Amino acid sequence: MFCGINRVVMRNNRKIMIAGNWKEHLNVSQASHFMHRLEESIPIRQSVETVIIPNVLILQPISVNLDRRKFRLGAQDGYFVDAGAYTGEVSMAMLQDLVHYVLVGHSERRYVFNEGDDVVAKKMQAAIRNGIMPILCIGETLQERLARETKQILHNQLTAGLMNLTSREVAASVIAYEPVWAIGTGEFAKPDQVQEAINYIRKQVESLFGKRTASLVRILYGGSVDDLNAKSFLELSGCDGALIGGASLNQYKFAAIIEVAYRVQQERLGR
């Protein structure tokens, strides 16, 4: 049974998600100290789902003392074969007791480690098979954007990633739009560019899985989001949160982004 699927499908309002991807940073000791400081900086905000995504070595130590009123855990990656002779790999099956979420198809996995759409599709299916909610990352490179291929790339990566999934599984998943050209490059996507991509992604989900699924699936933006520009993205129509990179390693910036998300969500709920 896919973890949390009934809860997500029956919910009318999509909860904002702020997910911090630590990438290849912090050892166990450093992460423990950082989480202690972070927990002190962030109040309980039940209308915002905050996900911490550290490297795999940190997941188990952090999970022991994690304040689950404030945080959930995610994995940066997972292998699609549950068990076998795959030295060095950590399977989705091994992660299922530790995390709620797992990144799938992150741009660095695609473009640094050469993972194709076929691998992404297998990882999506493996995550769901093991009760983990996948965060499917899609986005174009600068060359593809300049060639006006953005929509085609998003369509290809989305349809491949969601292959063989049911409407309920897609509704419970998360999609993150992360233009590769705006990640750690000093370049920034403009809100209107992000809005166009979000609208296109949701329309594609609707054409593939129906209007109800499209209205339930959460779509995040990831691309050099920090405490100074987060509001401009989180206020976009249909934007359900952000995938944060570098700013998630700064307790003050990350806490500020969560507060921005909280205020945006309160406005949406009319409070």
- Read off the tokens for 2: 């896919």
Of 49, 100, 106, 169, which residue is the catalytic one?
106
Would 177 be classed as within a structural domain? yes
- pLDDT of residue 127 exceeding 50, the answer is yes
| DSSP secondary structure code for residue 72 in this structure | E
Report how far residue 8's alpha carbon sits from residue 12's, in angstroms, rounded to the nearest whole number.
Answer: 9
pLDDT at 186: 66
Would 18 be classed as within a structural domain? no
Q: What's the domain range around 36?
A: 5-9+27-268
- Read off the tokens for 3: 């973890």
What CATH number does residue 80 fall under? 3.20.20.70
Confidence at 233, pLDDT banded by 50, 70, 90 = very high
Mean pLDDT of 208-227: 96
Would 108 be classed as within a structural domain? yes
User: pTM for the full model?
Assistant: 0.93
Mean pLDDT of 79-104: 97
At a CB cut-off of 8 Å and minimum separation 6, what does 22 contact? 31, 52, 53, 54, 55, 58, 76, 248, 249
Q: Count other Cβ atoms within 10 Å, centred on residue 226.
A: 18
The tens digit of pLDDT for each residue in 39-71 reads 999 999 999 999 999 999 999 999 998 999 999
The tens digit of pLDDT for each residue in 169-188 reads 999 999 999 999 887 776 77
106 is catalytic: yes
25 is catalytic: no
Of 49, 108, 169, 178, which residue is the catalytic one?
178
Would 215 be classed as within a structural domain? yes
Residue with tokens 């249909």: 238
The tens digit of pLDDT for each residue in 130-154 reads 999 999 999 999 999 999 999 999 9
- Read off the tokens for 237: 């129509």
Would 16 be classed as within a structural domain? no
CB 264, CB 38: distance < 8 Å: no
Would 165 be classed as within a structural domain? yes
Q: Count other Cβ atoms within 10 Å, centred on residue 162.
A: 26
E strand segments, 121-162: 133-138
Q: Position 129: which residue type?
A: R
- Read off the tokens for 23: 């990438």
The domain total for the chain is: 1
Q: If you average pLDDT over every residue of the chain, what do you get? A: 93
Would 19 be classed as within a structural domain? no
